[in-house]
Structure 1
Amino acid sequence: MSDTPLPRQKNLRADSAWILYQILECGRSSRDCLAQVQRRHGPRDNAWIQEMTMGVLRRLPVLQYWLRQLLDKPLKGKKKILEHLILLGFYQIAFSRVSPHAAVGETVNAAPYLGGVSLKGLVNAVLRNFQRSEIHLQPLNDELLNSGLPKWLYKQILACYNEQTAEIVEQTNSVAPIWLRVNRRQLSREEFTAALEQQGLTYQIPEHHPDAVLLTSRGDVQALPGFAKGWFAVQDGAAQLAAHYLAPGAGERILDCCAAPGGKTGHIMELQPALGACIALDSDEHRLKRVTENMQRLGHQPTVLHGDAGQPTAWWDGKPFDRILLDAPCSATGVIRRHADIRWLRNAKDIEQLVAIQQTLLETLWPLLKSGGTLLYATCSILPQENRQQISQFLARHNDAQLDPILPEETPEKPGRQILPGEQQMDGFYYARLVKS
């Protein structure tokens, strides 16, 4: 579907509907769309826009089910965006703190901003019918619709996890907590939490994460003490395990593949100040700028390289690495609670392509590793074909690859640690550690 320009005049609900249209009809990421819209609103309105749009994406199957009952004919062409405005109205009435009166009135008033002057009456009629019929209060006994997930993904989770499906779905639709990683090169965790307490901010100290602080009060991260000084990075607890599992040693040469935006690179350098070299590689030049910005703020100086990990002849100097972190491109099905749009931007065919890319990267990077060196494979996926199956097949193909278990129960047939969304408040993640014999 063709791109629709941002409404010329700003309007809270029209801009929110525009974001939904861009994601669901044009395949754009929420990060890009939100950034474009939020430049013209203040912090309070931006928080509302984010809450409402992400809420619609989490509840989309149910909202669309209601829409099909109340809208006689689907809207087409340039009018299609008004369906997204109606979905936003449904969400406000059914799932938000917005008063029904304001939800209907303000949503109808937003229609002209989207070129829908002639359809104000239709939007009004559908929303008032929705409110009057109380369709949202009637029980809906459909696990797929209630899951808020596309059919292909729900079926895959059900096939892979069976009895755990309900818990995975619940966690996937929850709001992710804010994890911070204290920069131990700058200050101790105790010094940082003392600074939080001085500002009246509440937090938890999670187990098994020596550098982590879990915020229990939400707000602007850049307003936290020491942000500009590089006291901390925002990084989920599952992602914070990477540097520990990699266990970089003094004088070693480290490659961090697919490194952007640089969270794991920074942590590697904080854990081991005496590295021989740390190379942060990524194929996306735009995202590499974020690596450089983040490293400057945190006070680290890795070698930042623009290059495709699958084509090392273009960037590799021929010196083998002691350790390689391959944070592989993946479906990101473990971080949907953090990025609600992922569920609608992915499809089943994408998984096959991603599995092929992951296999290529493993095969290409393995020769770059020293004998006795370690490769840590990581994804933010919960799908076995990207994770355990991928690593099990790699081990079967390579006699010089041995599993270095992270958990005692690992076997070459069932390698690695699979973290599910919400486990110890972490995102869904997978790690497997291989040693070159």
Structure 2
Amino acid sequence: MKLHRNLVFAVIDALDLIFTKGEYADKVIEKTLRRDKRWGSRDRGFIAETTYEMVRYKRLYAEIAEVKEPYSRSNLFRMWAVWAVLKGIELPDWKQIAPTPERRIKGKFDELSKIRKYRESIPDWLDALGEKALGEKLWTAEIAALNKQAHVVLRVNTLKTTKPKLKRELLDAGIVTEPIKGYLDALKLQERTNVFSSEPFKNGWFEVQDASSQLVGNFLDVKPGIRVVDACAGAGGKTLHLAALMENKGQLIALDIYDNKLKELKRRARRNGAHNIEPRAIESTKVIKKLYGSADRVLIDAPCTGLGVLRRNPDAKWKLRPEFLEKITKTQREILFSYSKMVKSGGKLAYVTCSILPEENEKQVFGFLKSEEGKDFNLIEEKHIYASKSGFDGFYMALMVKR
């Protein structure tokens, strides 16, 4: 593999912004890739994948390189050299990475790989928390799976096309996909590529959405003509799926505290041809109270630690702090206790997170069911989705019905 100096320097610049300035990895990579229009798909792929992998294994590479935070550019080059040696890449004769003790790097890697917190490159507190929550066997398998690169999965927009038709159109554009057994509207890319520049995407024929996330819409058991509230809609990935399942019939109210996210949802809805979505910003508690007892279905896709989606947000494990878990579980409880009041008698409520921790999941649901606010609800179904078992993001879903 021939290394190009400008690509490696782009990786170092990106890592400096992520590790030293605390910027989000996905935003940094997006910005970095726009720096040079001459870069082709292979160049862009090298920058994105190398940066993500170094973010993913930051602790391991830093330990082997014998550097500590805050990282200087010299430290980052040493970490990059570790990455290159472990990948079997011949190091170039650059002053920034000389000398590099390759034999010692491989020896330290073999030694540290026997210890899970180094092998999977996670903070001590998170490793201890995961083992306590899930048990040693499941946590070991799960954190290993969450360190693998995520698949690119598309959700067919059934408001505009069918799975066979989309598959053919993408193939004509040179994009090879395959269906995923058990996932009705999903197509998985055989090779990573930029699907956003394709005509089918511009025409609103699909959205990029992980297979686990696609299970939520069907789990809520929506039907055309009913009133559905997506209480934490964000930019609307699940909202758009619900609109398709409702066949554009009925009312789909998309709530969020961030108006800018709802504006993005409006833009996506226009492209998708989803006409039954009504975005409403939560500017006060009045917005929620007006909907009390009126919804056939309510989806609470609660804010969470995001531990189930570390594969696509690897920098999250470095930004997370133990105190955040206490803060977010309090927020989840408040949202569940308040927003559940929007469900009418006989209606259904789905509580969902992209976390794998019991504190954010079943403990929240069972606490709610035992409370005054949850006394009229019965648990119908519960799903724990683990990356180590499904191959996709980690999720939790609980479906309740109001008597």
Same fold (TM over 0.5): yes
Alpha-carbon distance change, 270 to 282 in structure 1, aligned in 2, over 3 angstroms: same
Pick aligned residue for 2:116 from 143, 151, 159: 143
What corresponds to 1:399 in structure 2?
375
The 5 A counterparts of 1:335-350 are 335-350=309-324
Please state how far the C-alpha of 1:178 moved relative to its aligned partner: 1.2
Q: Unaligned 5+ residue runs, structure 1?
A: 1-9, 109-122, 406-415
State the AA in 2 paired with 1:149. Answer: I
With the length of structure 2 as denominator, give the TM-score of the two structures.
0.89
In structure 2, C-alpha distance between the alignment counterparts of 1:290 and 1:281, rounded to whole Å = 13
SS of the counterpart of 1:22? helix
**1:274 to 1:48, Cα distance in 2 relative to 1, 3 A:** closer
Partner of 1:417: 383
User: In structure 1, the residue corresponding to 2:154 is in which secondary structure?
Assistant: strand
Q: What is the aligned partner in structure 1 of residue 52 from structure 2?
A: 54
What residue in structure 1 maps to residue 206 of structure 2? 232
Q: Secondary structure at the match of 1:204?
A: strand
Paired residues of 2:84 and 2:90 also in contact (CA < 8 A):
yes
Question: Secondary structure of 1:239's match?
Answer: helix
- 2:400 corresponds in structure 1 to 434
Structure 1 counterpart of 2:303, one-letter code: P
Is the Cα contact below 8 Å between 1:421 and 1:428 reproduced in 2? yes
Q: CA deviation at 1:422?
A: 4.2
Cα distance between partner residues in 1 of 2:289 and 2:153 = 34
1:172–1:284: structure 2 CA closer, same or farther, 3 Å change rule? same
Q: Give the whole-Å Cα distance in 1 for the aligned partners of 2:182 and 2:273.
A: 25
1:19 maps onto 2:18 in alignment? no
What's 1:100 paired with? Answer: 90
Q: Which 5+ residue runs of structure 2 have no aligned equivalent?
A: none
Q: Could you give the per-residue CA deviations for residues 83-113 of structure 1, whole angstroms, max 9, x where no partner exists?
A: 2232123212223x6x3333x62xx4xxxxx
Query: Which of the numbers 50, 67, 88 marks the counterpart of 2:80?
Result: 88
| Residue from 260, 268, 271 that aligns with 1:297 | 271
Assess if the C-alpha contact under 8 Å between 2:255 and 2:281 holds in 1: yes
Q: Kindly indicate whether the alpha-carbon contact (under 8 Å) linking 1:17 and 1:82 is maintained by their aligned counterparts in 2.
A: no
1:242 and 1:216 map into 2 onto residues whose CA distance is 24
**Cα distance in 2 for residues equivalent to 1:265 and 1:249:** 14
The alpha-carbon deviation at position 11 of structure 1 amounts to 4.2
**2:193 & 2:21 partners in 1: Cα distance?**
30
Query: CA 1:75–1:275 in structure 2 vs 1: closer, same or farther (change >3 Å)?
Result: closer
1:172 and 2:138 correspond:
no
RMSD: 2.3
Contact 1:52 1:92 in 2 (8 A): no
Residues in 1 aligned to 2:13 and 2:272: alpha-carbon distance in whole angstroms: 36
Q: Tell me by how many angstroms 1:188 deviates.
A: 1.4
Which residue identity lines up with residue 399 of structure 1 in the other structure?
K
Shift of 1:159: 1.8
Deviation at 1:61, TM superposition (A): 1.7
> Contact 2:288–2:342 (CA<8 Å) still a contact in 1?
no
**2:257 aligns to what?**
283
Q: What CA distance in whole angstroms lies between the structure 2 residues aligned with 1:174 and 1:362?
A: 32
* Residues 147 and 101 (structure 1), Cα distance of their counterparts in 2 relative to 1, 3 Å cut: closer
- Report Cα offsets for 1:219-240 as digits up to 9, x if no partner: 1112445111111111111111
> CA 1:138 to 1:347, structure 2 compared with 1: closer, same or farther past 3 Å?
closer
Task: Specify the SS of the correspondent of 2:401.
Answer: strand
Query: 2:234 corresponds to which residue?
Result: 260
Q: CA deviation at 1:318?
A: 4.0
- State the shift of 1:273 in Å: 1.9
**Cα 1:395–1:198 shift into 2, 3 Å:** same
2:281 is the counterpart of 1:306? yes
Cα contact 1:17–1:84 (8 A) shared by 2? yes
In the comparison of the two structures, how many residue pairs are matched? 389
Q: Conserved in 2, the CA contact under 8 Å of 1:94 and 1:136? A: no
In structure 2, the residue corresponding to 1:304 is in which secondary structure? strand
